[in-house]
Amino acid sequence: EPEVTQTPSHQVTQMGQEVILRCVPISNHLYFYWYRQILGQKVEFLVSFYNNEISEKSEIFDDQFSVERPDGSNFTLKIRSTKLEDSAMYFCASSLQGGSSYNSPLHFGNGTRLTVT
Amino acid sequence: QQQVKQSPQSLIVQKGGIPIINCAYENTAFDYFPWYQQFPGKGPALLIAIRPDVSEKKEGRFTISFNKSAKQFSLHIMDSQPGDSATYFCAARLGAASKLTFGTGTRLQVTL
């Protein structure tokens, strides 16, 4: 079964540093997402991306965050200057159609655990 | 109004028991309610989902009950097994092409 893959599985960075989290969505999917989960808390939406542009973003997704689909297979999340509170598990997800539905559910990767020290 | 409230936070049942996880919402514009299952170190995986025009959806041992007037929905796991031990999240979607809003999760442990 095709799956969403994320790298690295764990990233440790110092406060103020830039990080790039990488994702390879399922190959025929058109909609891409980043969600995050602070340890022990709920999964929170960050951003959705379709047709090479952001289609929706949350209030968490401020100017420190950016997303890019640099080629036909990768989807990246960049945090320009990390803060301690950015420490979380970041999940990439993809779907064939937008919005998640019976016929086009969200498929999540296994996540990248980001630790900011 | 965009929130989805989930309870309990954690739940321990014996093998064969029927854990019930509850969620409540305020926004009547939510149009799709999935449940996700998450094992440690893994991403959430879709378990079962329901639309608000249906009162019950069953897939295998998993059943969603939906009460539109009360704005509540719940997940029942029949004949629970130790392999069902995981964190369960309810979620809701606000219209087509919109993001999912997740509940706070329920950590389920099924003991032998």
pLDDT digits (tens, 9 = 90+) for A66-97: 999 988 789 999 999 999 999 999 999 999 87
Q: What local confidence, expressed as pLDDT, does residue B97 receive?
A: 66
For residue A51, the domain's CATH number is 2.60.40.10
Q: Is A108 on the interface with B (CB under 8 A)?
A: yes
Q: Is residue B30 part of a domain?
A: yes
Contact state of A43 with B99 under an 8 Å Cβ cutoff: no
Q: Is residue B112 part of a domain?
A: no
Which range marks the domain in which residue A101 is found?
Answer: 5-116
Q: Which amino acid is at B38?
A: Q
Write the pLDDT tens digit of every residue in A43-68: 999 999 999 999 999 999 999 999 99
Q: What local confidence, expressed as pLDDT, does residue A72 receive?
A: 79
What is the sign, positive or negative, of the torsion defined by CA atoms of A19, A36, A1, B19?
positive
Mean pLDDT, chain A, rounded, equals 92
Q: What local confidence, expressed as pLDDT, does residue A96 receive?
A: 87
Q: What local confidence, expressed as pLDDT, does residue A64 receive?
A: 96
Contact state of B43 with A108 under an 8 Å Cβ cutoff: yes
For residue B80, the domain's CATH number is 2.60.40.10
Which residue ranges in chain B fall short of pLDDT 50? none
3 state SS of B82: helix
Question: Is residue B49 a contact partner of residue B36, using CB atoms and an 8 Å limit?
Answer: no
Write the pLDDT tens digit of every residue in A100-115: 676 778 899 999 999 9
Q: Is B105 on the interface with A (CB under 8 A)?
A: yes
Considering only residues 59 to 88 of chain A, which have any Cβ-Cβ distance to chain B shorter than 8 Å?
none
Q: What local confidence, expressed as pLDDT, does residue B59 receive?
A: 95
DSSP state of B42: S
Asked whether the bond before B34 is cis by omega within 30 degrees of 0, the reply is no
Q: Is B46 on the interface with A (CB under 8 A)?
A: yes
Q: Is B78 on the interface with A (CB under 8 A)?
A: no
Q: Which of A106, A107, A110, A112 to mutate to test the interface with B (most CBs of B within 10 A)?
A: A106
Closest-CA residue of B relative to A34 is B99
Q: How far apart are CA B45 and CA A46, in angstroms?
A: 18
Q: What local confidence, expressed as pLDDT, does residue A22 receive?
A: 97
Calculate how close chain A gets to B43, using CA atoms only, in Å: 4
A49 alpha-carbon distance from chain centroid? 10
Measured CA distances, B59 to B35, B64, B107 (Å): 12, 9, 21
Which range marks the domain in which residue B21 is found?
Answer: 4-103
The total of structural domains in chain B comes to: 1
Q: What local confidence, expressed as pLDDT, does residue A99 receive?
A: 67
The total of structural domains in chain A comes to: 1
Contact state of B44 with A91 under an 8 Å Cβ cutoff: yes
Closest-CA residue of B relative to A106 is B46
Contact state of B100 with A106 under an 8 Å Cβ cutoff: yes
pLDDT at A29 over 70: yes
